[in-house]
Amino acid sequence: MDKPLNSPLLIEPIGRPTKLSPAATFSHLQNFLVALPPSPSRTQLERLADALGVETGAIAPSEGERREAERIAARNAARAERRAKREAERIAAEAEEAAKLEQQLEEDDEEEEEDGEAFEGDETMGDIEYGDVPDDEDEPDNREGKDAEDDE
């Protein structure tokens, strides 16, 4: 366990290793970024390429700041678009729900009209007004009132 294991891959150098300069790294990154789809990793690599470009003098510092401002504006525009889309979907869902409720109410009204033809005066049936309830002797309030009258 103390001895390191041999690698299953045999890697042999074919030449002397060379160190990439910042200018070469910048050009490689620029060529590589063309093939990448838009993603957070691409944005990070663009920022790295901009920093290397400013460092090597390939791009002006104001150009790097302008590119960053464009990325922020694009991100904010995408957020606003997503918010507007969600809001439109929410409004459409609410309108659909309201339409379903209205349709259900209309169906209920039609059913009441069909059922109501058999009974005349159905509109007032079930309406209870103050004083319509007959006196119930089992209710404590009613007993108190009658007991009070009997006592007099």
**pLDDT tens digits, residue range 65-123?**
999 999 999 999 999 999 999 999 999 999 999 999 988 888 887 877 776 554 555 55
Beta carbons of 45 and 36 less than 8 angstroms apart: yes
- Judge whether 50 and 68 are in contact, CB under 8 Å: yes
Q: Which amino acid, residue 114? A: E
- Name the phi and psi angles at 5, rounded to 5: -80, 150
Tokens of 20: 């990439």
d(CA 46, CA 53): 10
Give dist(CA 143, CA 138) in Å, integer: 7
pLDDT of res. 146:
52
Torsion of CA 86, 91, 96, 97, to 10 degrees: 100
Closest CA to 24 of 42, 5, 49, 47: 49
Average pLDDT taken over every residue of the chain: 81
The residue length of the chain stands at: 152
Angle between helices 22-33 and 40-56 (to 10 degrees): 150
The sign of the torsion formed by the CA atoms of 4, 5, 7, 13 equals: positive
Tell me the three state secondary structure of residue 83. Answer: helix
Dihedrals φ, ψ of 79, to 5°? -65, -45
Q: How confident is the model at residue 13 (pLDDT cuts 50, 70, 90)?
A: confident
Q: In the predicted model, what is the mean pLDDT of residues 45-49? A: 91
